[in-house]
Chains A and B, each alone.
Chain A
Amino acid sequence: MIPEISRLSESFDRLGYVVDDELATVLYLMLQLKKPLLLEGHPGVGKTEVANILSAHSKTELIRLQCYEGLDVHSAVYEWNYQKQLLSIKIQESNQKSDLEKEKHIFGKDFLMPRPLLKAILSQDQSPVLLIDEIDRADEEFEAFLLELLSAFQISIPEFGTIKAAHVPWVILTSNRTRELSDALRRRCLYHWVNYPTIEKEYQIVMKKLPGIEQQLAGQIVEVVNKLRTKELEKSPGISETLDWAMSLQALGKRKLEETALAETIGAVLKSHHDIERMKAGGLAQLLSEIHH
């Protein structure tokens, strides 16, 4: 690695994040080229965490927009504070201002409620990190709107005017690929496919997040989870499942993983009845014998 990227990687490490070399390089380029970053990968591989890493590193606010089907401008960009507007109209009822002035008043800045996208544009001190989570769940129309935002970083509000970003936000988009994104959006962004971490990396993550855990236990957990990911499951365990599971075993005071402990806590790592049944039918002892420790 070249020194700049090593330094970045060390900084992440100090902040408590385990970042592999490829992702470190991608983030370095993102900061250099000032481009949005599109992350794709299976659920639970830590896509969202990347935004946390970046915001911790640049000591800046993290603004998050969770996408869903039917997401519209009112929840994503801005909304007027209707109650306040109504009150204000009532209060002003008796004064002599013209309708035009009244209208101007109630559609002023005090009545505007910024939602994530506008918040990111309004940020005053420095570039915030804008996380647009699960963009594939939003409609194509919203994607088109986003495209415009990502190229100009300005938002037009009919009653108010155009607001331009003082500091262009660092944008991270994540997708679970429930729908193919448009080429136009892809080409606006840097692209990174996030894989499950290697056994070593995941071990480091567990040790970092749960400093008190027995080394042997952590090693076993990571290996079993890794093994589970190679099986055909309805829902493969992600990193958060690994951590949940490690925490559960730790809370139960286990020092190493044996069959009973595995059976008691399997719900923390497998989240589907069908998967649990299948693993139990195959024999949990068998599963344990497949790992090295």
Chain B
Amino acid sequence: MQGGYRSHDTLTESILGFAEYLRSRDFNIGIREVQEALTAGSLGIIADKRSFSFSLKTIFCSSAEDALRFDLYFEQYWETLAEQLKGALDIKSRLVPQKKEVRSAVFMGKGHTDEKEKEQQDTKNVTGANSVERLRQTDFSMVSSIDSSHLEKLAMDLWKQMGKRLKRKLRLSVTKGTLDIRQTIRSSISSGGSMLDLRYKDKKPEKYRLVILLDVSGSMDKYSFYLLRFVMALREHFRNIEAFVFSTQLVRITDFLRIKNLDSVLSYLSQSTQAWSSGTKIGESMKAFNTAYSKRVLNGKTLTLILSDGLDTGEPELLSTEMGRIKRRTRRLIWLNPLKGSEGYQPLARGMAAALPAIDVFSSAHSLESILELERYLADV
């Protein structure tokens, strides 16, 4: 390794600088980790580059993703940047958290409603009980831009209520609790060991995991905006939720839902432009899901929810196989298709027809009302 940071001060500074360097790349490193790194440095590990690298890796990384990126950053920093960064290390900049630029997201049906479509819209902007009823049944693709904010609020409210109800139902679905022997024995002492007063344990709530795969391809444009909000609303009430979006590729968005901030979710998604509003390869996306996640994420207590119009540009055989693989690993497979809301719709699209045999529940998701119906399928497991 290069000279220059062999003496105590400069080594300390270099490690501090490296921690800072990693933090700016989204590593979660606290003071304790830095202290441990310094301790490791003082153990003489610095004398060997590989040992040093392995040590900092195990201390600074906290996930497989971190570990994958670490080696590159280690090389970059210690081989090229150490000298430059040492001088520039500014303690103050560490104290003020830097706000990330939030990019405005103009996509997903917002901002490009053209005139022709506006004329077609039969909905009018009226408020009141009547309009609520009307909005509940309006197809998302037909919502005027004036109505949309109103609908959004209504949707969030209704979905939140639904989430709450669902949570309660899933908890109550287990029958009577088991005998609490410990409490029973304790209470039986005064009666000389005769168990007159039986105590029961609290019922244990059954916990289901919800896995959501949301299609965000071009053909879903009008719907995906609302459906993503629906996913966010569910997230607030299911702790155990995994969410993915797909079009030509699959992106896991679970961690972004955790932030509870729709803007940051949208801005992240808009950055991975490839995934957005382009053609649909459902089969390939499902395959990616099966390869990378399904073994980990799916089990007998998982409900899998696919939100897609089924307009697949890939091979139907592939989709059919992959759907079968998902079906084998999950408790219930639900497919919500916004197109099913339109009159006379038949699942004839190649992709949809291929997927159908594996699906337990096939329902629509074009309006608020239709999504609220989902409650039935989720609660009655």
Contact = CB atoms under 8 A, between A and B. Distances in A.
Interface string A19-51: 001100110010011010110100000000000
A1 B40 contact: no
Given A2-B47, A2-B48, 10 more contacts: A1-B50, A21-B54, A25-B50, A26-B54, A33-B36, A80-B185, A82-B181, A179-B296, A187-B33, A191-B58
B207 to A, nearest CB: 7
A86 B187 CA distance: 12
Interface of B: 28, 30, 32-33, 36, 39-40, 43-45, 47-48, 50-51, 54-55, 57-59, 61-64, 66-68, 181-182, 185-186, 188-190, 192-193, 204, 207, 239-240, 254-255, 291, 296-297, 299, 301
Contacts, number: 110
Contacts of A90: 192-193
Chain A contact residues (Cβ within 8 angstroms of B): what range? 35 or more
Contact of A99 (B44, B181, B189): B189
Contacts of B188: 89
A180 B40 contact: no
A241 interface: no
B54 A2 contact: no
Interface string A151-182: 00000000100000000000000001111100
Given A33-B36, A69-B301, A103-B186, A40 B64 contact: yes
Residues of B contacting A: mostly: helix
A21 to B, nearest CB: 6
A66 interface: no
A90 B186 CA distance: 13
B190 A99 contact: yes
Interface in A29-79: 29, 32-33, 35, 37-38, 40, 69-70
B36 A177 contact: no
A254 B255 CA distance: 51
Given A25-B54, A32-B39, A178-B296, A1 B186 contact: no
Nearest to A183: B28
B193 A82 contact: no
A261 B229 CA distance: 56
A271 interface: no
A40 B186 CA distance: 42
A244 interface: no
A176 B296 contact: yes
The 6 closest A-B pairs by CB, nearest first: A89-B193, A25-B54, A186-B62, A193-B67, A190-B58, A26-B58
A191 B44 CA distance: 21
Contact of A187 (B30, B40, B55, B204): B30
Nearest to B301: A69
Contacts of B57: 22
B254 A180 contact: yes
